[in-house]
Amino acid sequence: MLEILEHRRFPHGQIRALASARSAGQKLPYRGGELKVEALTHESLKGVDIALFSAGSSISKEFAPAAGRSGCVIIDNSSAFRMSPGVPLTIPEVNPESIRDLKASAELPNVIANPNCSTIILLMALTPIRRAFGVERAIVSTYQAASGAGAKGMDELEAQTRDDLAGKPVKAGVETGGVFHEPYAFNLFSHNTAIDAVTGLNVEESKVIHETRKIWGDPAVALSATCIRVPVRRAHAESVNVTLKTPATTEQVREVLSKFPGVRVVDDRAGNLFPTPLKASGKDEVLVGRIRPDASRLPANATAGDYAKPSLGFDLFICGDQLRKGAALNAVQIAEMLV
């Protein structure tokens, strides 16, 4: 967040860094100087105009409501308030109108929720398509990097990879005080959130479905999600099959994506060059490629002419940096809208 505030020259007077008591006293580089970390208390946010929260749901629930009622605008990166009635769930390129009335929630005034990283990356690609052609249904499979579980998740992936390459046995992280319930090195597994016994969905899959409906204001849109952890250090990838309401050609889909702010089309069929986590890492744009008609809708002996016709179904592959557009950048962009 600090790097992005500095890079984008965010206009502010005083800026403070608040964390737990054990982090107090640490110094962070910022704009050629240093910020000394202070311990977060209930007095810390008095007189603060905008607070960017990214300390987990329990901290947000403890500190955000009172600060919001006192006039501080909270932009919260946790899942604490995303589905709370009246709390905007905002992606600036997608639904900027959502923050017009920050008093809409009597219990949580002045609170804005940052969506889940997978939801943000997905909707950056689907929203321009939806605006142009409508979206009836979408099926998404995510390939989520270790960064989604924070520094500990990244450390676990790196340590297990070194152990595996050295011929040492690799156990699930939770068996040795780590994060993940399966061995991570050279492996992939269902996302490490709880599975609902009735629906079979894990928490991450539920977030993608319910947050998309709230952000779009479309409770009827049909969505299916499968969320998987992959042994990638940073940046999430998503494979998407989308059903449109109005037929479109591949070129029309590519054109609307290329014009959408925050999206970059990477779709070189001749060179077999498409989005990858490495290409997305450290970048602000969401990369979209593998743009093609859904072959299941075409005749078994489809010709080039069949692929050129307008279609109701398309497949896409998306990559976005979970730490930037999937989290910190989106929060800072919301703050920029407020300013």
Return the CATH number at 141.
Answer: 3.30.360.10
Cα–Cα dist 63/277, whole Å: 35
One domain, residues 316 and 239: yes
For residues 109-147, b (16+ Cβ closer than 10 Å) or e, as one string? bbbbbbbbbbbbbbbbbbbbbbebbebbebebebbbbbb
CB 199: neighbour CB atoms within 10 A? 10
**First and final CA of the chain: distance in angstroms?**
16
One domain, residues 194 and 319: yes
Is 8 in contact with 284 (CB distance < 8 Å)?
A: no
pLDDT confidence tier of residue 143, bands split at 50, 70 and 90: very high
One domain, residues 65 and 126: no
One domain, residues 248 and 129: yes
Cα–Cα dist 80/99, whole Å: 17
Indicate if the pLDDT at residue 277 is higher than 90: yes
Edge-first strand listing for the sheet containing 33-39: 17-19, 33-39, 27-30
One domain, residues 60 and 136: no
In a domain, 153, yes or no: no
In a domain, 316, yes or no: yes
Q: Write down the H helix ranges in the chain.
A: 2-7, 57-69, 117-133, 150-165, 203-216, 250-258, 277-280, 304-308, 329-338
**In this predicted model, what pLDDT tens digit does every residue of 53-68 receive, in sequence order?**
999 999 999 999 999 9
What value does the mean pLDDT take over residues 159-183? 95
pLDDT confidence tier of residue 286, bands split at 50, 70 and 90: very high
In a domain, 62, yes or no: yes
Q: What is the pLDDT of residue 199?
A: 97
What value does the mean pLDDT take over residues 323-331? 97
Kindly calculate the radius of gyration of the chain based on its CA atoms and give it in whole angstroms. Answer: 21
Indicate if the pLDDT at residue 103 is higher than 90: no
Q: What does the longest C-alpha to C-alpha distance in the chain come to?
A: 69
One domain, residues 72 and 141: no
In a domain, 160, yes or no: no
pLDDT confidence tier of residue 276, bands split at 50, 70 and 90: very high
3-state secondary structure of 23: helix
User: Phi, psi at residue 321, to the nearest 5°?
Assistant: -75, 115
In a domain, 170, yes or no: no
Indicate if the pLDDT at residue 163 is higher than 80: yes
pLDDT confidence tier of residue 6, bands split at 50, 70 and 90: very high
One domain, residues 303 and 197: yes
Q: Which residues are catalytic?
A: 117, 236
Indicate the average pLDDT of the chain.
96
One domain, residues 219 and 108: no
Beta strand pairing status for 33-39 and 111-113?
A: unpaired
Q: What is the pLDDT of residue 102?
A: 83
Q: What is the pLDDT of residue 237?
A: 98
CB 193: neighbour CB atoms within 10 A? 14
- % the chain with pLDDT above 90: 96
The residues facing 212 across adjacent strands are none
Q: What is the pLDDT of residue 216?
A: 98
The encoded tokens of residue 197 equal 């016994």
- How many structural domains is the chain composed of? 2
Q: What is the pLDDT of residue 93?
A: 98
Domain enclosing residue 29, as ranges: 2-114+329-338
One domain, residues 125 and 99: no
Q: What is the pLDDT of residue 107?
A: 83
Indicate if the pLDDT at residue 250 is higher than 80: yes
Is 129 in contact with 197 (CB distance < 8 Å)?
A: no
Indicate if the pLDDT at residue 317 is higher than 80: yes
Cα–Cα dist 278/331, whole Å: 23
